[in-house]
């Protein structure tokens, strides 16, 4: 039976942990970028009149992003379910093969 390289798995876990730790910093960076963009859009007093249209435009963009994110998450969940199903079928097949080999011996 093939063994699993635990070192490669641990490396993956470390990379994932670093990404999780970096998420708060990414959120801070995103917020700073958003504030800079708003400051640029509303740099002149005349631009304040366009707040309602800007708000509607960004609400529409957010809704589209939320829909895309939801679709992506649902796809990944379904792919995970399929993978787990295949894994269970493989495990069952391996158990049958093991049983058959024991019968032959």
Q: pLDDT truncated to tens, each residue of the chain (105 aa)?
A: 344 444 444 455 666 666 656 667 888 888 899 889 888 888 888 888 888 898 999 999 999 999 999 999 999 999 999 999 999 999 999 999 999 999 987
Residue 100's Cβ-side half-sphere holds a number of Cα atoms within 13 Å equal to: 6
All residues at 6 or more sequence positions from 42 whose CB lies less than 8 Å from its CB, including other chains? 48, 51
CA 84 – CA 81 distance, rounded (Å): 5
């Amino acid at each position: 039976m093939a063994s699993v390289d635990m070192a490669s798995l641990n490396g993956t876990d470390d990379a994932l942990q670093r990404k999780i730790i970096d998420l708060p910093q990414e959120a801070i960076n995103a917020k700073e970028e958003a504030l800079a963009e708003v400051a640029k859009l509303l740099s002149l007093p005349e631009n304040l009149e366009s707040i309602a249209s800007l708000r509607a435009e960004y609400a529409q963009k957010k809704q589209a992003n939320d829909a895309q994110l939801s679709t992506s998450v649902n796809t990944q969940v379904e792919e995970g379910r399929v993978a787990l199903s295949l894994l269970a079928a493989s495990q069952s097949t391996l158990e049958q093969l093991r049983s058959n080999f024991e019968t032959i011996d």
